[in-house]
Amino acid sequence: MGHSTVSQKQTQEGNGETRPVDGSVSDDCLLYVDQLRVEFNTARGHFRAVDGVSWSVNKGETLALVGESGCGKSVSALSVMRLLPRPAASIVGGRILFDGCDLLQESDSEMRHRRGRDISMIFQDPMTSLNPVLTIGDQITEPLRNHLGMSVEQARHRAVELLAMVGINDMETRLDQYPHQFSGGMRQRVMIAIGLACHPRLIIADEPTTALDVTIQAQILEMMRDLTRRLGITLVIITHNLGIVARYADKVAVMYAGRIVEQGPADRIFKAPRHPYTRGLLRSVPRLDRARGALLETIEGYPPNLYDKHQGCYFAPRCDLVTDQCLHKAPLLIASRGHEVACHLSDNALPADVKPFAEGAERELARSDVLLEVAHINKYFGGAGKGWFSPATALHAVKDVSFTIKRGETLGLVGESGCGKTTVGRMILKLESTNSGDIRFDGESVITATAARIRALRQRIQVIFQDPYASLNPRMTMGETLLEPLIQCLALPPKAAQDRVNELIDQVGLLRDVKDRFPHQLSGGQRQRIGIARALAFGPDLIVCDEPVSALDVSIQGQIINLLAKIQARLGVSYLFIAHDLAVVRHISHRVIVMYRGKVVEEADCDRLYEDPRHPYTRALLASAPVPDPEIERARQGQILQGEVGSVFAGHQGCLFANRCPMSTAECARVNPVLEEISSNHFAACIHHSMAMNQRVSA
Amino acid sequence: MAMLNRVLKNVVLFCRLQPLGALGLLIILVMATCAVFAEQVTFYNPEAVDFGAMLSGPSADHPFGTDSFGRDIFTRIVYGARTALTIGFLSSMIGCHIGAAIGIASAFHGGWIDLLLQRFIDIILSFPIVVLALVVVAVMGKTLVLGIDLNLVFAIAIPIIPRSCRVIRAATLSIRTQPYVDAARAGGYSTVYILLRYIAPNVIAPFLVLLTAYIAQAILLEASLSFLGLGVSEPKPAWGLMLAGDSANFYNEAPWMILFPGLAISLSVFAFNLFGDSLRDWLDPKYRN
């Protein structure tokens, strides 16, 4: 019931791009998705989420489905599990052959038997995919008892094995704990253990590491790769991160607007991408392995609306190389030079090769007077030495942090989640109080300022948030959102304010008709542009950018980063750029600070920090960040950090990184390393910083 | 004129997009008109006793029949709409608004003010709703303004306050931490401005649901109080009173005595709920187009 399969004939009629499919599948092929079409029925009409998509994966192989949000990658994977939301979504055409059986023809109970036993799935958010009221043991043994009919003791025995397999120590005790007692990375390990429990033949991982920190991500990826290789499990991984693809995949399928635009062996796709979209994707991400350029090359525009039937190539409106043919005829997915591409352009019509990045035309600072001075600030959460709790329970979120930002400068603040980087930003904005230390903006203390002065200062220190949707009032139109600061704070007359709104909208590259729209009617990139325009409306000198691009799609990220750079060049504003993505920070920053557990561990000019990182944590971060190049990724030995970040409570002794540091000695546990200048303008807080350098030289 | 045009256009649009809500609104309007023009709608006196027509069933003379004193039930429902709508509407409005104001302030300010207010709310909540209203009525007595007992309105509004406060506080707590509120704080707007422009419009959805649900509750509460002899008293017509009075003694012989006042209460509750739900969707920009 529910899923009806339309005959093969109709499938091919419905979609112009038929490709030679003879129906026979080779023995090696484990999963074959054939001309799959999925529609969502919404109030606005039919949404063609997946429109004639075919991909296959051989036994033991790893396939990566790559694409931006809404391109249909998750929907096509959920279709394999037959877990699409009902009744909104329906599979209107195609076949899904798993080991020769068409999954779409199976009954619900047959399908239930397959899920978890033959095919299992790992979801993105480990925080919500575990049941909080059941122990980890219950949740791992559940599929074992259900599918394999194991007894309680057998299942528990197997669960211990599984936990050991995914690298969780102290298995017996851990089994009786609840999900909240595990960290994010640990929970994802548990999810993987559950996925592996019945020894499935296929695992579908939907953005398995997107919610995790870089160092944890590297651990999980490494582990998943080893396990699937060792156990011969076929893996389909869905991701937007090209670096992960390069590390993992044997085969890549790039999706755009519900269709596959390019697929083939990973090496070929990365070395010689054919489709303009793939080429654009690869070039629009800032990369650690390339010199940084002045601006990123971006794919302009936004993905198409999938409610309407479009003529021609879906990518045509955003494509630089568009021809007449592209606008009228949908390209077929045809084999070319070792992989399949859906593009009308012949090989020689493409620009010779991926252009190298424009060499770093270094942005000189026009003026160098100090705008913001942060001196020894501390922040505790919880009972800070008063009340009924002893001081030791206070969480020391920000620990003696100092830095300065000059006029027109971008300071990058990097660190993993929970390292206190966002708190620092909020303290500067005075959204969070400061327990000790001083923050001086343009010579004036933010900490001791009167309420009236604070109001004036707030116009000069603005903020851009991570989640562009949540940062806009859902009840206000964009016009109202932008008018508000002009009228409320700057007290402009209505006419002048309207003109200024138009100017702001132009400045962030939007069309003026957004003024009447509400946040939910815009795309993520457009919302973030409004967020930027709102910050600019105040005429600020400093903008605190709190992860401004991490919630955006790859091709949109580049646009926003470029926009921020252009605005800085024009208006001379300073940025405090808070992010976890090292490549993005490197691209945009003049100076970079690395934080770990509330402390600054290293500070240096951007290029120097990335070329010569001295703190072992910085080096581990750089080593963990995946780079979109399969050759580099495969050659990588991976000096990966073990363990996880813990919380820092007041009164901690010794180096905070000592428990994970590959170079730690007994001394590290005793001595509190101070931030010292190890060469001109390069600071690191490590007692072994010279060792770090020597090691590097010898390596 | 342009203003009137815009209002009219909005009303037409509301009717087109929210047909059920428009139906609810229509029922409310019909009831309100009946209440206001009661003298023109029916020519009986609601308090006139007619022993010749005791307990007579629905007929051309008495479309809804008569009660045990021979009073016309249709007339009494029409006049009763005055009491029901004013008391129901007023007390729910007062109760929900005060509750919402306390809830928003309490959640937004947080800290010890929140703690104190919430413990106070806990205390009020610990009294059963009828008992609390009883106490208020008993202590305050009667203050008649335009034929409406204001103290009865307060008596019904007071138990609504903590209930509305709880719901709105919870909604505010989740909105308070949204980045757009942080953005407003970073913009240097005053607290009052943020409360009015950022918090209040975003708690409107649960608020409207509460408001309409408590109009219904208030009508029923008024009925209970009248039954206990503390609300509206005989011979004044009130829906609750008509249900409560001795109609229970005659439900076998004269079921219309229960049926029609009951229907009137259900219909008004239904209408307010329909209208409230539609209004909530209408005010939410996400559902508008």
ipTM above 0.90, yes or no: no
By C-alpha distance, the chain A residue nearest B284 is A475
Between CA A339 and CA A251 the distance in angstroms is: 10
DSSP string, A524-563: HHHHHHHHHHHHHHT--SEEEEESTTTTS-HHHHHHHHHH
Tokens 């009831």, residue located = B31
Residue A409 φ/ψ region, left for φ over 0, alpha for ψ in the -120 to 50 degree band, beta for the rest: beta
Q: Higher model confidence: residue A337 or residue A266? A: A266
Asked if A423 reaches chain B (Cβ–Cβ under 8 Å), the answer is: no
Between CA A608 and CA A602 the distance in angstroms is: 11
Judged against a pLDDT cut of 90, whether residue A504 lies above it is answered with yes
Between CA A699 and CA A494 the distance in angstroms is: 65
Sequence-separated (6 or more) residues with CB below 8 Å from residue B79: B35, B38, B46, B237
**Encoded tokens for A480:** 């109202």
Question: By the 8 A CB rule, do A588 and A577 touch?
Answer: yes
Question: By the 8 A CB rule, do A483 and A473 touch?
Answer: no
Question: By the 8 A CB rule, do B114 and B176 touch?
Answer: no
- Largest separation between any pair of C-alpha atoms in chain B: 76
What is the radius of gyration, based on Cα positions, of chain A?
A: 27
Q: Which run of H or E residues covers position A298? A: none
Residues of B in contact with A462 (CB under 8 A): 186-187
Between CA A628 and CA A247 the distance in angstroms is: 8
Between CA A19 and CA A34 the distance in angstroms is: 10
Categorize the per-residue pLDDT at A528 as very low, low, confident or very high, splitting at 50, 70 and 90. Answer: very high
User: Per-residue pLDDT averaged across A446-459, rounded?
Assistant: 87
Between CA B104 and CA A613 the distance in angstroms is: 49
Asked if A166 reaches chain B (Cβ–Cβ under 8 Å), the answer is: no
By C-alpha distance, the chain A residue nearest B203 is A475
Q: Which run of H or E residues covers position A139? A: helix A136-147
The amino acid occupying position A653 is Q
Give chain B's length.
289
Residues of A in contact with B179 (CB under 8 A): 465-467, 470-471
A547 CA: distance to closest CA in chain B (Å): 13
Asked if B186 reaches chain A (Cβ–Cβ under 8 Å), the answer is: yes
Residues of A in contact with B185 (CB under 8 A): 431
Question: In this complex, which of A473, A477, A520 lies closest to B180 when CB atoms are compared?
Answer: A473
Question: By the 8 A CB rule, do A53 and A242 touch?
Answer: no
Interface of B with A in 198-217 (CB under 8 A): 198, 201-202
Residues of B in contact with A531 (CB under 8 A): 183
Span B18-43+65-273 CATH architecture: Orthogonal Bundle (1.10)
Least-confidence region, from A136-140, A357-361, B213-217? A357-361
CA dihedral A442, A448, A452, A458 (to 10 degrees): 50
**Cβ contact A518–B286 (<8 Å):** yes
The amino acid occupying position A304 is P
Asked if B111 reaches chain A (Cβ–Cβ under 8 Å), the answer is: no
A66 CA: distance to closest CA in chain B (Å): 30
By C-alpha distance, the chain B residue nearest A543 is B186
**Encoded tokens for A204:** 């579908």
Residues of B in contact with A474 (CB under 8 A): 180, 202, 285-286
The CA-based angle A576-A580-A581, given to 5 degrees, is 100
Between CA A355 and CA A295 the distance in angstroms is: 13
**Cβ contact A429–B198 (<8 Å):** no
Cis peptide, bond prior to residue A87, ω within 30 of zero: yes
Q: What is the pLDDT of residue B177?
A: 86
Judged against a pLDDT cut of 50, whether residue A189 lies above it is answered with yes
b (16+ CB within 10 A) / e for A217-247: bbbbbbbbeebbeeeebbbbbbbbbbbbbbb
Residues of B in contact with A471 (CB under 8 A): 178-180, 182-183
Question: By the 8 A CB rule, do A427 and A421 touch?
Answer: no
**Encoded tokens for A490:** 């700057």
**Encoded tokens for A389:** 């709790």
Residues of A in contact with B200 (CB under 8 A): none
Asked if B178 reaches chain A (Cβ–Cβ under 8 Å), the answer is: yes
Between CA A266 and CA A197 the distance in angstroms is: 29
Categorize the per-residue pLDDT at A412 as very low, low, confident or very high, splitting at 50, 70 and 90. Answer: very high
Asked if B182 reaches chain A (Cβ–Cβ under 8 Å), the answer is: yes
Asked if B110 reaches chain A (Cβ–Cβ under 8 Å), the answer is: no
Between CA A200 and CA A194 the distance in angstroms is: 10
pLDDT per residue over A154-169, tens digit each? Answer: 999 999 988 888 888 8
Asked if A45 reaches chain B (Cβ–Cβ under 8 Å), the answer is: no
Question: In this complex, which of B180, B186, B193 lies closest to A470 when CB atoms are compared?
Answer: B180
Q: What is the pLDDT of residue A359?
A: 41
Categorize the per-residue pLDDT at A1 as very low, low, confident or very high, splitting at 50, 70 and 90. Answer: very low
Question: In this complex, which of A459, A471, A485 lies closest to B180 when CB atoms are compared?
Answer: A471
Between CA A462 and CA A457 the distance in angstroms is: 9
Asked if A495 reaches chain B (Cβ–Cβ under 8 Å), the answer is: no
Question: In this complex, which of B183, B201, B202 lies closest to A465 when CB atoms are compared?
Answer: B183
By C-alpha distance, the chain B residue nearest A454 is B188
Q: What is the pLDDT of residue A690?
A: 66
A528 CA: distance to closest CA in chain B (Å): 12
Judged against a pLDDT cut of 80, whether residue A347 lies above it is answered with no
Judged against a pLDDT cut of 50, whether residue A593 lies above it is answered with yes
Q: What is the pLDDT of residue A364?
A: 54
Question: In this complex, which of A489, A520, A534 lies closest to B286 when CB atoms are compared?
Answer: A520
Asked if A480 reaches chain B (Cβ–Cβ under 8 Å), the answer is: no
In 3-state terms, what secondary structure has residue A476? Answer: coil
Q: What is the pLDDT of residue A542?
A: 94
Q: Higher model confidence: residue B203 or residue A647? A: B203
All residue ranges of chain B with pLDDT < 70 are 1, 145-148, 245, 247, 288-289
Between CA A208 and CA A569 the distance in angstroms is: 38
Question: In this complex, which of B179, B193, B197 lies closest to A467 when CB atoms are compared?
Answer: B179
- Domain range summary for chain B, segments of one domain joined by +: 18-43+65-273
Between CA B101 and CA B32 the distance in angstroms is: 28
Q: What is the pLDDT of residue B283?
A: 83
**Encoded tokens for B241:** 């009173």
Question: In this complex, which of A429, A471, A475 lies closest to B202 when CB atoms are compared?
Answer: A475
**Cβ contact B189–A489 (<8 Å):** yes
By C-alpha distance, the chain B residue nearest A476 is B285
Beta carbon pairs, A and B, within 8 Å: 68
User: Per-residue pLDDT averaged across A263-287, rounded?
Assistant: 86
Q: Which run of H or E residues covers position A73? A: helix A73-81
Asked if B193 reaches chain A (Cβ–Cβ under 8 Å), the answer is: yes
Categorize the per-residue pLDDT at A478 as very low, low, confident or very high, splitting at 50, 70 and 90. Answer: very high
**Encoded tokens for A198:** 């019945």
pTM of the entire structure?
0.81
Judged against a pLDDT cut of 60, whether residue A385 lies above it is answered with no
Question: In this complex, which of B189, B193, B285 lies closest to A474 when CB atoms are compared?
Answer: B285
Asked if B197 reaches chain A (Cβ–Cβ under 8 Å), the answer is: yes
Q: Does domain A410-416+452-633+647-698 have CATH number 3.40.50.300?
A: yes
Cα–chain center distance at A322:
30
Question: In this complex, which of A475, A488, A531 lies closest to B189 when CB atoms are compared?
Answer: A488
Asked if B42 reaches chain A (Cβ–Cβ under 8 Å), the answer is: no
**Cβ contact A518–B285 (<8 Å):** yes
Between CA B164 and CA B96 the distance in angstroms is: 5
Mean pLDDT, chain A, rounded, equals 82
**Cβ contact A518–B183 (<8 Å):** no
**Cβ contact B178–A470 (<8 Å):** yes
Asked if A50 reaches chain B (Cβ–Cβ under 8 Å), the answer is: no
Question: In this complex, which of B188, B198, B286 lies closest to A455 when CB atoms are compared?
Answer: B188
List the A676-679 sheet strands across, edge first.
A461-464, A542-546, A574-579, A410-414, A591-596, A599-605, A682-684, A676-679
